[in-house]
Every structure is written in C-alpha cells, then in structure tokens.
C-alpha cells in the first residue's frame, strides 16, 4: 500500500523492499518498492492539490490546527512509534521515546505556533518611488521530503512540519532501511483530515527516488543523508533551477581543554561520540582533540568508558549500544578501523564484533589512539561508534585541526571556562558548537552545516523560510483621481 491523494491504496508496482531487523537479521516486514509510475501518481496528487489552493489558501491558523491534530494523533501512537523505531533501526529503546519521538513532536507543535503567528505578508512603505509594497511569503509548492534511516521521525517532521506550515504540499519518501514508520505517520495525517493530495507517502527503490528528485512538478527537494547523494540532488535540481535544502554529513571535532574534568570527558564524550544512535549520527563528536599533557589520561578514560557500555538487544531497557543498521554498514565501519590500524592507529578499546552477539549487526564501541588528522578514519565520516583521539600542542593547533575538514556541521568544546569556550567556538566554521555536552535539537534553533555538510537550515524561523518564495506587489501611495 501507499498513501496517495488522501487514501491508502495499492501500489502500482509489484516489486517489494524487505525490512531487516538490525538486531537479528530477520525480515520483519515488506513495503512496495515504488518506481516511476507510483512516483508520478503521488507527485500529480500533490501538484493538483497545490495548484487548486486547497491548502495554501487556508489561513495560517487553519493550517496550524491541522498540524496540531497530526501531532495529537502521533502522540496517541507514541508507544507504537517508539517500538517500531527500535525494531526497524536497532536504536536502544531507552533513548527512543525522549529523543526520537518526543523531540520530533515538538517540531510539529513549534511550526503550528509559527503558522498561527505569521500573517504571511506585510506592508512596507517605499518612499523612494512614492509607493508601498505588499511583501508576501508564498509557499514554494510541491516538496519532496527524503528522510534518512538514522532519524526517521525527526528527519521526517523537520521537513514535513515547516512545509505544511508554509502551505506546501508534500511527497514523503522514507528510507528503504526503515520505511514502516512512514505508515504510522500517514495514519496520523489521514486521521487529521487534511485536504486530499496535501500529504503523500511512497517508499521507493533507487529508480523511484531518482525520478522523484528529478520530477519537473516537484518545486523543492528537502533531503537529509550522505554528502555524495546530496551533491547528486543539488546537481539535478540546479539544472531546472528548483530549490533544495540539504542536511548532509559531518565530521565533528571535540576540543578538550586542559581543565576539562575527567568525569565530564568520560560521560559526555562517550554519550556524544558512541552512544547516540550507536554512533550513527551526523553530529556525533568523533574527532576528540586532546592536549599532549593529558593525552594518555584521556585515552585511558575514554577506553574504560567505552568498555563499560552495555551492548545488546535494543529492546532491553538496559542496553546502551545497539546494532548498526545493516550488515554492509557494520562491515564498512570495521574496514575503517582496520584501515586506521594499518595507518598506525592503536585500538585502545573495542574494534571488533562482540563475542556475545551471534545475530544482528553489532560492533564494539571503539576508541582509536595515535590518530592523526590526515588518516582516512579522521578525514571521512565513519558513522559508527568510533572515536579518534588526536593530540595537539596548542589551542591554536586544535582549532586548525578542527577546521581541517571538508565538513562543517558541528563541533564541541570541553572546559570549565565557558567564556574561553565561546571564544573558541566563534573561530570554528560549523553550524553548531556545543559546550560541555550535546543538547537535543531545539525546534526554535536553526540547524545545518557549512561546506560539504549541506545547504540551508532546518528548524527555527529559518527552517520555515526555506519553504517560501517572496513576492512584492507595488501599490501607488494614492488612489488615482
């Protein structure tokens, strides 16, 4: 089934995508592998709804009421949603409800509040030409929302919420690794009774995904995922001058200063570098930069903390480190670790598949010492529970190491001197800098990256502005005689 034009309906394709449990390797469901025909049907539905104005012509308050109904419906399904996120993604259940579900629902509530507050136009005097202008914020049109597997609900609602608030219509394509969640989202939207065609859901294969991105009736592509795919999307959209917003990869540097407490390092850096989604997070603080005077101490602290992290069944409330998303991804992370060893790095903790896990796609949380910033493991996005500990001599050198990357999504500074941390943060070319910890995504604060970490911003008023076109209507200051 797919959700198109306001109803669940059989897919036009006979192809299927299998959903594999990362914890066991077993098939836990299948969905249609939608291709060109299903994509065309979904886009046509969204295009028709937008052109008819069944959504964009509503007031901001009317759209906000509908968005709040979606949030209410998802909230009523929160327990089922949490269980499904754990089953499909392998994420430790103890973190899912608060991070993946409650956090995502805040996005809907926030953008509903913005839609209520915004008149979507204002009048500005233009004395230079003896006129006044009505400046209108108009919805961009049909939005294709392509969502990653590591934040399936957060990634979806960070796009769907502002798009709907702005008056756009949406075609939502979940990741093929965990598409089942999208059906619970569709059920919540269906119950909220939006006009037909405003919201559509299609799981898709590679051919279908490419067709969606290149479809001439799609006005904007909103994507979270790898930099390589983001580059391809940007190239495709640029050919037709269609808008895109891209939240891409990261290679964060955590700068540990001389005075950072040992307990803060142990708890904070393992949480941000290893525990968060079992290291499968674009904002994971993966390159830990440590002063030479404390290097051996910090490596020892991190190794002990990593070895103490419980690995196991993600449905077990005591589990901290769950499996990686697929066998292929686990093997890719292991290759990074082996490659680092070959380049001279030392495994201080982890580095292999746990002996106790004979099913699923598990890997031990890993600390790599003696890493230099020119090693592949430090230059590329590993996207697994792997921390690289890199030595520096001066803070200026640490800043240069942190900046020596094509990415620019996030970084962090660890110290008791908050003023010094802010001073360092202002010198980093990244979208977000965290001081002494990782703060959950706040719907009011913009999120995004510099460089190869993306284009545009999600969340905050800036996230809503991504889904606008601006029109100016010039009116004479006086009525003609």
pLDDT digits (tens, 9 = 90+) for 254-310: 999 999 999 999 999 999 999 999 999 999 999 999 999 999 999 999 999 999 999
pLDDT digits (tens, 9 = 90+) for 410-427: 999 999 999 999 999 999
Q: Please indicate, yes or no, if residue 98 is contained in any of the structural domains.
A: yes
Indicate whether 233 and 344 sit together in one domain.
no
Closest Cα partner for 309 from 365, 357, 378?
365
423 is catalytic: no
- The mean predicted confidence, pLDDT, of the chain is 97
**Structural domain span for residue 224:** 2-248+453-473
Tokens 């754990």 -> residue: 86
Angle between helices 206-214 and 227-239 (to 10 degrees): 40
pLDDT for 126 = 85
Indicate whether 244 and 281 sit together in one domain.
no
pLDDT digits (tens, 9 = 90+) for 150-168: 999 999 999 999 999 999 9
466 is catalytic: no
Indicate whether 379 and 416 sit together in one domain.
yes
Alpha-carbon separation of residue 446 from 328, 345, 455, 458, 465 (angstroms): 33, 36, 12, 6, 11
Query: DSSP 3-state assignment of 39?
Result: helix
Least confident of 67-76, 296-305, 349-358, 368-377: 349-358
Q: Please indicate, yes or no, if residue 265 is contained in any of the structural domains.
A: yes
Indicate whether 464 and 399 sit together in one domain.
no
Q: Please indicate, yes or no, if residue 43 is contained in any of the structural domains.
A: yes
Q: Tell me the mean pLDDT in the region 219-224.
A: 98
Indicate whether 209 and 315 sit together in one domain.
no
Q: Tell me the mean pLDDT in the region 349-362.
A: 94
pLDDT for 481 = 61
Catalytic residue among 34, 168, 237, 282: 282
Catalytic residue among 88, 177, 247, 466: 247
Domain CATH for 421 = 3.40.309.10
């Amino acid at each position: 089934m797919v959700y198109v034009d306001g109803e669940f309906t059989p897919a036009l394709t006979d192809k299927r995508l299998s959903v594999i449990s990362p914890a066991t390797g077993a098939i836990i469901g299948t969905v249609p592998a939608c291709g060109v025909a299903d994509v065309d049907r979904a886009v046509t539905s969204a295009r028709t709804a937008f052109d008819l104005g069944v959504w964009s012509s509503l007031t901001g308050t009317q759209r906000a009421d509908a968005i709040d109904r979606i949030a209410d419906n998802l909230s009523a399904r929160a327990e089922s949603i949490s269980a499904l996120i754990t089953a499909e993604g392998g994420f430790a259940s103890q973190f899912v409800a608060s991070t993946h579900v409650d956090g995502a629902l805040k996005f809907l509530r926030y953008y509903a509040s913005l839609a209520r507050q915004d008149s979507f136009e204002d009048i500005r005097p233009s004395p230079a030409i003896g006129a006044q202008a009505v400046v209108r914020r108009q919805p961009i049109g049909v939005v294709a929302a392509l969502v990653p597997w590591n934040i399936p609900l957060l990634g979806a609602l960070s796009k769907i919420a502002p798009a709907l608030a702005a008056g756009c219509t949406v075609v939502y394509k979940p990741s093929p690794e965990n598409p089942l969640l999208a059906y619970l989202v569709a059920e919540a939207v269906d119950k909220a009774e939006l006009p037909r065609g405003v919201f559509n859901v299609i799981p898709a294969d590679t051919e279908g995904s490419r067709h969606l991105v290149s479809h001439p009736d799609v006005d904007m592509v909103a994507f979270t995922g790898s930099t390589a795919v983001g580059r391809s999307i940007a190239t495709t959209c640029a050919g037709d001058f269609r808008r895109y917003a891209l939240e891409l990869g990261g290679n964060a540097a955590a700068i540990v200063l001389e005075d950072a407490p040992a307990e803060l390092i142990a708890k904070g850096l393992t949480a941000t570098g290893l525990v968060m989604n079992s290291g499968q997070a674009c904002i994971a603080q993966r390159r830990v930069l440590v002063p030479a005077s404390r290097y051996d101490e910090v490596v020892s602290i991190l190794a002990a903390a990593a070895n103490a992290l419980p690995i196991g069944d993600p449905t077990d409330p005591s589990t901290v480190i769950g499996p990686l998303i697929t066998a292929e991804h686990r093997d890719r992370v292991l290759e990074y670790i082996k490659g680092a060893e070959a380049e001279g790095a030392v495994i201080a903790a982890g580095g292999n598949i746990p002996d106790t896990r004979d099913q699923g796609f598990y890997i031990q949380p890993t600390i790599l010492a003696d890493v230099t910033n020119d090693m592949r493991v430090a230059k590329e996005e590993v996207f697994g529970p792997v921390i690289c500990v890199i030595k520096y001599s001066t803070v200026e050198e640490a800043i240069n190491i942190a900046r020596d990357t094509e990415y620019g999504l996030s970084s962090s500074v660890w110290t008791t001197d908050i003023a010094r941390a802010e001073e360092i943060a202002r010198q980093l070319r990244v979208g977000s800098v965290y001081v002494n910890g990782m703060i959950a995504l706040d719907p009011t604060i913009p999120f995004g990256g510099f460089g190869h970490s993306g284009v545009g911003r999600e969340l905050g008023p800036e996230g809503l502005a991504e889904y606008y076109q601006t029109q100016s209507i010039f009116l004479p200051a006086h009525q003609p005689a």
